Amino acid sequence: MLIQIESNKKTGPIVGIDLGTTNSLVAIVEGGKPRVLKSSDGKSLIPSVVSFADEKQPVVGLEAKRNKVADAQHTVFSVKRLLGCGFEDLKPILESLPYTLVQDPEAGLVKIQIGDRAYTAIEISALILREVKKRAEEALGCSVTRAVITVPAYFNDSQRQATRTAGRLAGLDVLRIVNEPTAASLAYGLDKKRQGLIAVYDLGGGTFDVSILKLQDGIFEVLATRGDTQLGGDDLDQTMVRVAAQEILQSFGLDIYAEVHIHSSLLESAESVKIALSTQAEAVLELKLDTRIYRRVWTQAEFEALARPILERTREPCLSALKDAGLQASDLSDVVLVGGPSRLKIVQEIARSIFGKAPNTSVHPDEVVAEGAAIQADILAGNNQDLLLLDVVPLSLGLETYGGLMATLIHRNTRIPTVAREVFTTFVENQTGVDIHVFQGERDRVDENRSLARFKLRGIQPAPAGIPRVEVTFLIDADGILQVAAKDLKTGQEQSVEVRPSHGLTDSEVEKMLASGLENVKADEIYKNLVEARNKAEPVIRAVEKNWDQAKLLLAPDELEEVRDKLDILRQVMQGQKVEAILDATSDLNRSTVRLAELLIRDSLKEMR
């Protein structure tokens, strides 16, 4: 007889997660069909917002989004725009973010300052993913530890690594990183069993992506992908905010950029106006400024005039993607629109003018990416053998050679996974080490591309310049994540090298965070007990309050005094964090009201007779 001690069978479902700039969603495939998991009150979107009103216990999602105005200084949104980016990358958008960014020069990281703590974008993203994981666990009634997460196709290596690290910090084993438009096309193609060439035009809150795909016999092949990591619906809000800021400065002499609260609530009002204009001809923007009120009517035409030049920025990436794929717009059988802003008429109109055909708006613009992620998860779980996803590298990868020139090893739009090897030599006599500096981008000069990582290969045998042979290998895995290795062919010795993402976290930093995450779990438990204690206390307080007038009639003065004392004590300890104190004060109040309860019951019985 055998007794099973441990099962190595991985249990639990693999979920698909759309970790959006603005909203995140989680989905699963059931009975061959993707389904977005909803909260108990039927909501599918989880706003990608984290609020630190209580620094120990941040809130995430809808509740946090409400704090965007009320507690702007402690509330972080659009963090995906910062993920895997350095300070230089972020200069163009610094002004538009109401929270404070600080530079950690040692780690090369940008951090978000909240009170006296600074958080990396990875940590904030991990908090969002933790909420997503919780949503899935509540909806499915089991623990969820494995996921597929989507990223914009245009995300570079640092941004992909950062996403993966965030998943790990949230307790998720990230089995695959998938490009968002690819995921969208999976859901679109699965549902419709379509064939042919399609463009996926995805305009989200902060990123724009376009991909050209070939769908044939269940194979989804990405032919080309382009995009803009700093373009989205947020920018439409920003232009309206700029107009309002100027008008407010003129009429009221108030600089809203200097007023965090007003700036935040203006942003929120501008977004509401934009959303309203997707279904109405006009909408009113109203903003309370201390005692005065700023009010302005926006017509659709006015809004479109402002939005058009911003949305026109999607044209160039679309045309380039078509060119990369060697196609004309007329070759496409369908243009699929994805993302919240694609509900705007002006967006549909611009997509039509770019591709010369009416776009398809049949997919659910918010849910289609998460659904596609779930389908990919289902494929990885071995359940769907009919589909195959072939993704590509969004940007060329290479290294710096003499004179600051880029030697490209892997070209843009190469299918992944892939490997490339090239041999380099030294430039200086008796050189014993070489600097390997890895870049990503399309320009000939490395200083116009993006630095990804650098390391040194040492121990090269001294030899005249040009003699040593150094073989560099670039390996891209199925997630689009790059590993670089270098080997001295003369000695045959391969050096182990650590490629550190330029704007990510090292393994040891992640370990440290994971360890402190365990402390957080403890803190979570304490918090849970606190909430439970408060939940016990609240109905008791409410009952006393409700019957207070009766109590004044029914109780003797000293009895009344006693109840009032106990009530005051409980109210006071409720302000604090001491679980025991709350439980004790609740029992005390309960005990002091026993006689009152008896009298109340007697009274009500009397009334019934």
Report the catalytic residues: 18, 80, 180, 202
Q: Which is nearer to ligand ADP, 45 or 596 (CB)?
A: 45
Q: Which is nearer to ligand ADP, 18 or 123 (CB)?
A: 18
Phi, psi of 218 (to 5 degrees): 80, 5
The token duo for 554 is 């029914």
The token duo for 581 is 């104190």
Which of 38, 134, 296, 343 is close enough to bind ligand ADP by CB under 6 A? Answer: 343
Q: Which is nearer to ligand ADP, 208 or 424 (CB)?
A: 208
User: Which residue pairs from 453-456 have beta carbons closer than 8 angstroms and sit at least 24 positions apart in sequence?
Assistant: 453/484, 453/499, 453/500, 453/501, 453/502, 455/484, 455/486, 455/497, 455/498, 455/499, 455/500
Residue list 81-120, contact with ligand ADP (CB under 6 A): none
Q: Which is nearer to ligand ADP, 20 or 480 (CB)?
A: 20
Contact 466, 504 (CB under 8 A): no
Q: Which stretch binds ligand ADP (CB under 6 A): 153-161, 251-259, 334-342, 575-583?
A: 334-342
The CB-of-467 to ligand ADP minimum distance in angstroms stands at 52
Q: Which is nearer to ligand ADP, 135 or 274 (CB)?
A: 274
From the list ligand ADP, Mg ion, none, which binds 396 (C-beta under 5 to 8 Å, kind-based)? none
Contact 128, 108 (CB under 8 A): no
Q: Which stretch binds Mg ion (CB under 5 A): 96-104, 199-207, 263-271, 596-604?
A: 199-207
The CB-of-52 to ligand ADP minimum distance in angstroms stands at 21
- The reply on whether position 340 binds ligand ADP by CB under 6 A is yes
From the list Mg ion, ligand ADP, none, which binds 586 (C-beta under 5 to 8 Å, kind-based)? none
Chain-centre distance of CA 517, in angstroms?
Answer: 19
Q: Which region holds residue 324: left if phi is over 0, alpha if psi is between -120 and 50, else beta?
A: alpha
For residue 445, the 8-state DSSP code is: B
Distance CA 441, CA 409 (A): 11
- The reply on whether position 234 binds ligand ADP by CB under 6 A is yes
Binding mask 472-511 for Mg ion (x = CB under 5 A): ----------------------------------------
Contact 175, 132 (CB under 8 A): no
From the list ligand ADP, Mg ion, none, which binds 343 (C-beta under 5 to 8 Å, kind-based)? ligand ADP
Distance CA 439, CA 461 (A): 26
Q: Which residues pair with 337 in a beta bridge?
A: 201
Q: Which stretch binds Mg ion (CB under 5 A): 75-83, 95-103, 198-206, 542-550?
A: 198-206
The CB-of-118 to ligand ADP minimum distance in angstroms stands at 24
Contact 523, 576 (CB under 8 A): no
- The reply on whether position 20 binds Mg ion by CB under 5 A is yes
The token duo for 4 is 């099973």
Continuous segment of H or E residues that includes residue 238 = helix 233-252
Task: Kindly tell me the burial class for residue 352, based on how many C-beta atoms sit within 10 Å of its own C-beta (0-12, 13-18, 19 or more).
Answer: middle
From the list Mg ion, ligand ADP, none, which binds 300 (C-beta under 5 to 8 Å, kind-based)? none
The CB-of-455 to ligand ADP minimum distance in angstroms stands at 34
Q: Which residues pair with 436 in a beta bridge?
A: 455
Binding mask 248-287 for ligand ADP (x = CB under 6 A): -----------------------x--xx--x---------
CA 154 → CA 18, 189, 314, 341, 374, distances in Å? 15, 22, 13, 19, 21
Q: Which is nearer to Mg ion, 232 or 517 (CB)?
A: 232
Distance CA 167, CA 133 (A): 10
Chain-centre distance of CA 381, in angstroms?
Answer: 24
Q: Which is nearer to ligand ADP, 202 or 391 (CB)?
A: 202
The CB-of-230 to ligand ADP minimum distance in angstroms stands at 12
Residue list 18-37, contact with ligand ADP (CB under 6 A): 20-23
Contact 151, 15 (CB under 8 A): no
Question: Count of residues binding ligand ADP (CB under 6 A)?
Answer: 21
From the list Mg ion, ligand ADP, none, which binds 344 (C-beta under 5 to 8 Å, kind-based)? ligand ADP
196 CB-side CA count, 13 A: 15
- The reply on whether position 371 binds ligand ADP by CB under 6 A is no
Nearest of 118, 112, 171, 179 to residue 143 by alpha carbon? 171
From the list ligand ADP, Mg ion, none, which binds 23 (C-beta under 5 to 8 Å, kind-based)? ligand ADP
Which of 204, 232, 372, 501 is close enough to bind Mg ion by CB under 5 A? Answer: 204
| Rg, Å, the chain Cα set | 29
Angle between helical axes of 300-311 and 345-355 (0-180°, round to 10): 40
The token duo for 24 is 């995140």
- The reply on whether position 233 binds ligand ADP by CB under 6 A is yes
- The reply on whether position 365 binds Mg ion by CB under 5 A is no
Contact 23, 60 (CB under 8 A): no
- The reply on whether position 398 binds Mg ion by CB under 5 A is no
The token duo for 596 is 């009152």
Q: Which is nearer to Mg ion, 205 or 504 (CB)?
A: 205
The CB-of-347 to ligand ADP minimum distance in angstroms stands at 8
Residue list 194-213, contact with ligand ADP (CB under 6 A): 204-207
From the list ligand ADP, Mg ion, none, which binds 497 (C-beta under 5 to 8 Å, kind-based)? none
Which of 34, 58, 61, 339 is close enough to bind ligand ADP by CB under 6 A? Answer: 339
Q: Which is nearer to ligand ADP, 23 or 384 (CB)?
A: 23
Q: Which is nearer to ligand ADP, 23 or 593 (CB)?
A: 23
- The reply on whether position 227 binds ligand ADP by CB under 6 A is no
Task: Kindly tell me the burial class for residue 458, based on how many C-beta atoms sit within 10 Å of its own C-beta (0-12, 13-18, 19 or more).
Answer: exposed
Which residues sit at the interface with ligand ADP, rule CB under 6 A? Answer: 20-23, 204-207, 232-234, 271, 274-275, 278, 339-341, 343-344, 366
- Using CB under 5 A as the criterion, which residues of the chain lie in contact with Mg ion when the complex forms? 20, 204
